[in-house]
């Protein structure tokens, strides 16, 4: 009776093959889920790093632009809305709040730069940068806007760019467009007199 039970309790070759096949399938699925979760986590961390870096750079730009005035665009090389006449550039210059220094933001080798120094990290590639100033200075061809074209209007700067990883992209992260708008708190009529004298287009702003 003991021998009979021991024989009946043994696994057949077919049962072993089925069990091994099930184990391999379950292990393959589990490993695939684990690898995808790790890849998704890395992708999320990379995206968060990119967004944080670009957001910090944009916040720095916005902070200075809010207190700046007399915005000048570089060569007009991007057009976002031809129907309204809004044309932009990948560089912009303006006077700092104290009026004693000029600030320039531009695109250089995939980085946002301030006066020539990068303000974004090498892990982020910035492209398609476009500054649009929605105020037209009378007699200044570098400033475009839709009507009314009045140099006494407040400055309004729209910043558009595309960000992507600045390194080999094995995670397949797509390029992400970014847009923000900043309004200067300094009105043309509030420009200090010693500076306004050098810009006659603002002389009549009251």
pLDDT tens for each residue of 16-60: 888 888 888 888 888 888 777 777 777 777 778 888 899 999 999
Could you report the per-residue pLDDT of 109-160, keeping only the tens digit for each?
999 999 999 999 888 899 999 998 887 544 444 444 443 446 788 888 999 9
Task: Return the closest-CA partner of residue 134 out of 179, 184, 95.
Answer: 184
Could you report the per-residue pLDDT of 62-103, keeping only the tens digit for each?
999 999 998 988 988 886 655 556 678 999 999 987 767 899
When pLDDT is averaged across residues 163-179 and rounded to a whole number, the result is 79
Distance CA 21, CA 197 (A): 86
Total tally of structural domains belonging to the chain: 1
């Amino acid at each position: 009776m003991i021998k009979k039970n021991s024989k009946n309790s043994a696994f057949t070759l077919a049962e072993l093959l089925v069990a091994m096949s099930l184990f391999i399938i379950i292990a393959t699925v589990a490993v695939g889920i684990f690898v995808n979760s790790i890849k998704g986590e890395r992708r999320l961390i990379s995206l968060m790093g990119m967004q944080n870096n670009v957001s910090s750079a944009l916040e720095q730009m916005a902070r200075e632009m809010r207190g700046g005035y007399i915005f000048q665009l570089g060569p007009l090389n991007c057009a976002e809305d031809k129907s309204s006449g809004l044309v932009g550039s990948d560089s912009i210059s303006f006077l700092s709040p104290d009026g004693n220094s000029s600030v320039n933001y531009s695109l250089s080798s995939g980085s946002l730069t301030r006066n020539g120094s990068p303000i974004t990290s090498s892990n982020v590639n910035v492209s398609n940068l476009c500054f649009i100033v929605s105020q037209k200075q009378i007699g200044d061809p570098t400033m475009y806007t839709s009507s009314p074209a009045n140099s006494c209007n407040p400055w309004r700067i729209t910043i558009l760019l595309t960000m992507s990883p600045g390194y080999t992209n094995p995670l397949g992260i797509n390029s992400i467009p970014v847009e923000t708008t900043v309004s200067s708190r300094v009105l043309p009529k509030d420009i200090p007199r010693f500076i306004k004298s050098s810009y006659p287009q603002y002389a009549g702003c009251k």
